[in-house]
Amino acid sequence: MAQLKSTAIREMSDDDMSLQITELKKQYMKIKGALKSGGVPEDVGKARILRRNIARILTIQKQKAHGEVKKTQK
């Protein structure tokens, strides 16, 4: 799982962001469950990336809801 760029997230529709969040949360719950049960998941560092991606999407969703989306410069 690669880190999602904020420019790519801003180009997504609201439905796409919601679907992405649910998919990321499912993956995170799977890794978190393996850690809590004492097992070792296939990629321990993936949990941190998933948490950050979820937070990034939620932040951009709230910004869109308040009309605070910034234009990115190229």
Q: What is the pLDDT of residues 5-30, one digit of tens each?
A: 999 999 999 999 999 999 999 999 99
pTM of the model: 0.81
Under the banding of pLDDT at 50, 70 and 90, the label for residue 56 is very high
**Residue where the block lists tokens 């796409």:** 16
Enumerate the domain spans of the chain.
6-66
Q: Give Cα 27 distance to the centre of its chain.
A: 10
CA nearest to 50, candidates 35, 38, 62, 39: 35
Decide if domain 6-66 falls under CATH 1.10.443.10. Answer: no
**Residue where the block lists tokens 């962001």:** 17
Q: How far apart are CA 44 and CA 67, in angstroms?
A: 36
Under the banding of pLDDT at 50, 70 and 90, the label for residue 41 is confident
